[in-house]
Structure 1
Amino acid sequence: MSMHLPVRPAWTCAGCGLAWPCPSRKRELLAEFAGARVSLMLYLSRFFVEACVDMPATTSGTLYRRFFTWPYEPTNGRHDNESAPPGR
């Protein structure tokens, strides 16, 4: 079981104190939901809704980016569906 769980209502990580989901939890979630990105997004939706309730002064756009954009960020300088150029 992960130690990187959200502490509400501030939505900080119980394991490291960073904003949740923290980098460690993001890595764990990507591994847990490998090949099931839609399921990951549905899982994160639950937390997004709860965070919206707990942090009404935070804009929904800020929370959207916090919960939904990181699974699609480039890794190692390229997207998951891109391959490295030949010879690199």
Structure 2
Amino acid sequence: MATDHIPDRPSWRCRSCGNPWPCAPARHHLAARLDKAALATHMWAQLDDAFGDQPTGPPAEMFDRFIRWTH
């Protein structure tokens, strides 16, 4: 079930499949329930939290992982 694909903080890996979150099932679930503006806003908040947990994460990779796929 896609709702099981949630981030495990502070690692930001999916609790269900272990892939970097948002994993493919999480992305599909989020895109299906939120319009594009709400999705981008939600994922920006998630990116902000992830940077708080992993401040040394590569910014470009984190942006691609959390934001780029929403467009």
Where 1:30 maps in the other structure, the secondary structure is helix
Tell me the number of residue pairs that the alignment of Structure 1 and Structure 2 aligns: 70
Question: Partners in 2 of 1:61 and 1:53 — Cα distance?
Answer: 15
After superposition, the C-alpha distances for 1:28-83 in whole angstroms (9 at most, x for unaligned) are: 011111xx2011100111110010111111122111111011123xxxxxxxxxxx
Q: What pairs with 1:35-74 in structure 2 (closer than 5 Å)?
A: 36-72=35-71
| Runs of 4+ with >3 A deviation | none
Partner of residue 15, structure 1 = 16
Q: CA deviation at 1:23?
A: 0.3
- Superposition RMSD on alpha carbons, in Å? 1.2
- The equivalent of 1:86 in structure 2 is none
User: 3-state SS of the aligned residue for 1:53?
Assistant: helix
Q: What's the TM-score, normalizing by structure 1?
A: 0.74
Higher relative contact order, structure no. (Cα contacts within 8 Å, ≥ 6 residues apart) = 2
2:33 maps to amino acid:
E
Percent identical among aligned pairs is 29
Whichever structure has more helix as a proportion of its residues is 2
Aligned counterparts of 1:53 and 1:64: Cα–Cα separation in 2? 14
Q: What TM-score comes out, normalization by structure 2 length?
A: 0.90
